[in-house]
């Protein structure tokens, strides 16, 4: 059977696995064919549920037979889940992937981390987080020789007392670091095992996200455990059954569910194995939220994917708030109770697309309900009203009190519904949403968490607002210097190279222009919007392929762009004349020796300067940085010269959408990190090529591969 890749639909390997029901279900008496059928289920991501309710009991039996058989075949001990330091992972229901320089977490104006702002947003919109992955290097890594470890170790204020990690820990969050096994083309230090173990110990980190990996090799597992006992390892996709033994969590990424909700294979195998559902490019997170809810697992909140805004709608955020509030309170029930997927419900609810899991332990039961339909379902969901106390947790904050089929209000304030066989209470399950019922049987002890949960749930009403919360990236325009006549002398006190540079500047005439810009399609996108929307998994040729875009505009006046880049010697003149000191000195002119250019390198392009450093120098020269369009217009005349070594050029193209800062670089560089397509663009590039660089803070934007040249707006009247 041929397969044609379609980015909008799951690949065959992502589809749920059908569970054969036409063979014996007792693994101990299984025939050879039955044993093979059971072993084949090891490859599932999700066990597909049958459409026919009459098959659900046999389906559950088959899943139980597989689990018994698989644990026996793989010699499962569960020892990794007994580590006291890692017990938190089993109830880590929300984890966020966050770029270190996300503008919720870092202020470019104040040059400091702002965890208080990040935590307040998480509390308001997602009812808090349990963990965070501090994403550090990609998609910037490769701009120069810095390796992935440098992008953690070289960050001021990340570690130590009062540092970002310590502040997040104090707020109750667990912190993951990111491991990029593909980083083999930057500077080499020790082997990856030693470097990662050292970073984990130094931060200190609670977990490691295994970027591009499904699992860590046993030696890496051992080294990390020795460095940080209780370390939690989380891979990016389906985890092999035998490695559930030593990986306590995994992503449920690229997991397609059946129309009737299925069961996550890894979590069914070991309830303490936490999975986080994630669909990074989706604007509708209903599918992963419902699968997480009905399986008793968590989700990944990822609103900025490598610089691209993919924020959650209020409907999905409200669903998550309701989910995690229940999950955190009832975590022991979810972990230790009996789990009945696709438990029996009232036929009319089932026919409307309402399904549920039942978690029960010592007389306390929790139904986690989902509505696959678009419309709200209001009516009975249980076949009858069980004796004891039955509470509609998600109805506590509903806009209107639900009623039973007779029109009588249902007590959703912690009251009691008595009498087996009584009319089942009416419950509202929002369209494409979730609901929760909790029941305490007569004589059973009320769980300690129930009163607090009832109060908490009053604050969490559902929302029908599924609109995507768009953000626009806006150009940040610095204070512009006054226009200078074309024949004006440079304002700096030097002569020679600086004056020659201005005299030889390439003048771009005023008027309208149209440009063709070439770039490599990365997950960062370019100016506006997401490069992929509701796509399952972008692959070649949709990923990393060369593309073009058109830019047009108009220059109100001619612009002179310096033919050469600013050199080390020229920048030294600027410092001598002005005493300039940057707001953040970290990495400033890091290649200089005792505050002066290295001998023999005076005429090389100055590097290890950031945008503000380049702006300050340009203003001193009476000019500014060229925009990316001005740079390209000048470059396409053939008049721009490149220094040695060739370095990228800063341009006046800083943008922000309130969460990500970025800038367009022009010109390319001699440096090129090789060995992985995930590295930043390298090599010398033609003038029409642009590269989008996400801006890190605290001096990390200063690079050995980025310099700059000046530009001047020419006043034609006084020229």
Residue 102 lies in a domain: yes
> Band of the pLDDT at 373, cuts 50, 70, 90?
very high
Q: Is residue 383 part of a domain?
A: yes
Residue 671 has pLDDT above 50, yes or no: yes
Residues 323 and 351 in one domain: no
CATH number reported for the structural domain that contains residue 415 in this entry: 2.60.40.1180
The answer to whether residue 3 sits within a structural domain is: no
Question: Going by C-beta distance under 8 Å and a sequence separation of 6 or more, which residues neighbour residue 40?
Answer: none
User: Which residues, including other chains, have CB under 8 Å from residue 126's CB and lie 6 or more apart?
Assistant: 94, 301, 317, 320, 321, 324
- Residue 425 is predicted with a pLDDT of 87
- Looking at the fold, whether 63 and 98 belong to one and the same domain comes out as no
Tens-digit pLDDT profile for residues 616-648: 999 999 999 999 999 999 999 999 999 999 999
| Ramachandran category for residue 51: left, alpha or beta (phi over 0 → left; psi -120 to 50 → alpha) | alpha
- pLDDT one-digit tens code per residue, 262-284: 999 999 999 999 999 999 999 99
Q: What is the pTM of this model?
A: 0.93
Domain that holds residue 661: 494-509+556-713
Q: Dihedrals φ, ψ of 352, to 5°? A: -85, 0
**Cis, peptide link before residue 204, omega less than 30° from 0:** yes
d(CA 671, CA 350): 61
Angle, alpha carbons 148-149-152 (nearest 5°)? 100
Name which residue leads in pLDDT, 468 or 385: 468
What the block records as the tokens of 194 is: 């030693």
Under the banding of pLDDT at 50, 70 and 90, the label for residue 69 is very high
Burial class of residue 443 (count of CB atoms within 10 Å of its CB; 0-12, 13-18, 19+): exposed
3-state helix, strand, coil in the chain (%, to 5): 25, 20, 50
Output the domain CATH number for residue 625.
3.90.1580.10
- What percent of the chain is predicted at pLDDT more than 90? 87
CATH number assigned to the domain comprising residue 318: 3.20.20.80
- 3-state class (DSSP) for residue 546: strand
Q: Considering 258, 292, 327, which residue would you say is the last residue of a domain?
A: 327
Q: Is the peptide bond before 139 cis (omega within 30 degrees of 0)?
A: yes
Q: Does residue 62 lie in a domain region?
A: yes
Q: Which two tokens stand for residue 60?
A: 């559950």
197 and 94 in a common domain: yes
pLDDT at position 281, please? 97
Asked whether residue 161 is assigned to any structural domain, the reply reads yes
Please report the pLDDT score of residue 716 as a whole number: 53
Placement of tokens 């990996």 in the chain: 213
For 518-531, give one letter per residue: b (16+ CB within 10 A) or e. ebbbbbbbbbeebb
Q: Is the pLDDT of residue 411 over 90?
A: no
Specify whether 44 is located in the same domain as 139.
no
Task: Note the pLDDT tens digit of each residue in 448-462.
Answer: 999 999 999 999 999
Long-range residue pairs from 240-244, CB within 8 A, at least 24 positions apart, any chain: 240/42, 240/214, 240/215, 241/42, 241/70, 241/74, 241/265, 241/266, 241/269, 242/74, 243/214, 243/215, 244/76, 244/269, 244/270, 244/273
Residues 65 and 107 in one domain: no
Query: What is the arithmetic mean of pLDDT over 206-230?
Result: 97
Domain count, the chain: 4
Residue 426 near residue 380 (C-beta atoms within 8 A)? yes
Tens digits of residue pLDDT in 543-554 = 999 999 999 999
Residue 591 sits in the same domain as residue 708:
yes
Mean pLDDT of 353-381: 97
User: Does residue 664 share a domain with residue 697?
Assistant: yes
Cα distance between residue 178 and residue 194, in whole Å = 15
CA distance 499 to 504: 9
**Per the domain annotation, does 390 fall within a domain?**
yes
Q: Among 327, 355, 374, identify where a domain stops.
A: 327
Average pLDDT over residues 217-226: 97
Say whether both 47 and 142 belong to one domain. Answer: no
Q: Check whether residue 47 and residue 109 sit in a common domain.
A: no
Residues 390 and 267 in one domain: no
Confidence band for 1, pLDDT divided at 50, 70 and 90: low
Q: Which of 188, 245, 241, 183 is nearest to 210 (CA)?
A: 183
pLDDT at 30: 47
The verdict on 30 and 107 lying in the same domain is: no
pLDDT score of 5: 84
Please give the structure tokens belonging to residue 395. 């109805």
Instruction: Name the residue with higher pLDDT: 408 or 656.
Output: 656
pLDDT at residue 486 greater than cutoff 90: no
pLDDT per position as a tens digit, 15-32: 999 999 985 445 455 456
Residue 617, domain member (yes or no): yes
φ/ψ of 361, rounded to 5, equals -160, 125
- The helix-helix angle for 56-74 and 32-40 (nearest 10°) equals 90
Residue 168, in any domain of the structure:
yes
Same domain, 642 and 564: yes
**E-only strand ranges, 172-265:** 174-179, 207-210, 232-235, 249-253, 263-264
């Amino acid at each position: 059977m041929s397969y044609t890749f379609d980015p909008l639909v799951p690949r065959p390997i992502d589809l749920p696995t059908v569970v054969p029901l036409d063979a014996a279900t007792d693994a101990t008496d299984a025939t050879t064919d039955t044993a093979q059928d059971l072993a084949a289920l090891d490859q599932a991501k999700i066990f597909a549920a049958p459409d026919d309710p009459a098959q659900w009991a046999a389906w559950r039996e088959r899943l139980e037979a597989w689990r018994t058989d698989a644990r026996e075949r793989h010699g499962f001990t569960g020892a990794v889940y007994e580590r006291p330091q890692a017990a938190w992972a089993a109830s880590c229901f929300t984890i966020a992937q966050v770029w270190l320089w996300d503008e919720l977490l870092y202020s470019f104006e104040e040059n400091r981390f702002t965890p208080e702002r990040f935590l307040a947003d998480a509390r308001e919109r997602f009812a808090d987080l349990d963990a965070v992955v501090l994403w550090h290097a990609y998609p910037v890594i490769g701009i120069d020789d810095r390796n992935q470890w440098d992008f953690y170790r070289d960050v001021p204020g990340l570690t130590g007392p009062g540092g970002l990690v310590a502040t997040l820990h104090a707020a109750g969050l667990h912190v993951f670091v990111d491991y990029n096994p593909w980083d083999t083309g930057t500077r080499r230090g020790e082997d990856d095992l030693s470097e990662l173990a050292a970073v984990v110990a130094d931060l200190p980190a609670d977990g490691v996200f295994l970027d591009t990996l499904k699992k860590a090799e046993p030696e890496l597992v051992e080294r990390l455990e020795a460095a940080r006992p209780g370390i939690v390892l989380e891979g990016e996709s389906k985890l092999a059954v035998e490695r559930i033994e030593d990986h306590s969590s995994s992503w449920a990424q690229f997991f397609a569910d059946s129309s009737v909700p299925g069961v996550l294979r890894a979590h069914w195998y070991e309830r303490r194995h936490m999975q986080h559902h994630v669909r990074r490019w989706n604007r509708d997170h209903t599918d992963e939220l419902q699968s997480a809810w009905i399986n008793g697992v968590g989700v990944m909140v990822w609103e900025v994917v490598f610089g691209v805004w993919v924020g959650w709608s209020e409907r999905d955020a409200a669903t998550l708030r309701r989910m995690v509030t229940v999950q955190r309170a009832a975590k022991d029930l979810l972990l230790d109770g009996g789990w009945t997927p696709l438990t029996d419900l009232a036929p009319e609810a089932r026919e409307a697309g309402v399904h549920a899991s039942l978690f029960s332990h010592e007389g306390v039961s929790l139904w986690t309900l989902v509505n696959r339909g678009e419309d709200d379902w209001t009516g009975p969901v249980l076949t009858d009203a069980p004796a004891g106390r039955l509470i509609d947790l998600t109805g506590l904050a509903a806009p209107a009190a639900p009623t039973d089929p007779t029109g009588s209000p249902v007590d959703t304030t912690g009251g009691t519904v008595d009498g087996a066989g009584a009319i089942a209470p009416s419950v509202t399950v929002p369209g494409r949403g979730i609901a929760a019922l909790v029941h305490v049987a007569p004589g059973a002890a009320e769980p300690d968490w129930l009163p607090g949960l009832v109060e908490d749930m009053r604050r969490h009403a559902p929302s029908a607002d599924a609109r995507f919360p768009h953000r626009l990236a806006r150009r940040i325009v610095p204070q512009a210097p006054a226009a200078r006549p074309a024949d004006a002398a440079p304002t700096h006190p030097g002569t020679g190279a600086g004056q020659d540079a201005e005299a030889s500047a390439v003048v771009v005439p005023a008027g309208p222009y149209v440009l063709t810009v070439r770039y490599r399609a990365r997950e960062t996108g370019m100016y506006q919007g997401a490069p992929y929307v509701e796509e399952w998994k972008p692959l070649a040729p949709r990923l990393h392929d060369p593309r073009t875009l058109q830019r047009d505009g108009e220059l109100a006046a001619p612009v002179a762009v310096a033919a050469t880049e600013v050199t080390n010697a020229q920048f030294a003149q600027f410092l001598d004349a002005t005493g300039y000191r940057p707001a953040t000195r970290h990495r400033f002119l890091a290649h200089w020796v005792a505050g002066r250019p290295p001998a023999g390198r005076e005429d090389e392009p100055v590097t290890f300067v950031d945008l503000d450093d380049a702006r300050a120098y340009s203003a001193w020269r009476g000019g500014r940085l060229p925009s990316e369009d001005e740079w390209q217009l000048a470059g396409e005349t053939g008049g721009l010269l490149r220094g040695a070594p060739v370095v990228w050029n800063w341009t006046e193209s800083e943008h922000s959408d309130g969460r990500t800062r970025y800038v367009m670089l022009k010109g390319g560089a001699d440096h090129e990190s090789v060995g992985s397509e995930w590295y930043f663009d390298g090599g010398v590039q033609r003038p029409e090529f642009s590269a989008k660089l996400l801006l890190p803070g605290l001096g990390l934007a200063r690079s050995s591969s980025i310099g700059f040249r000046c530009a001047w707006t020419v006043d034609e009247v006084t020229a």
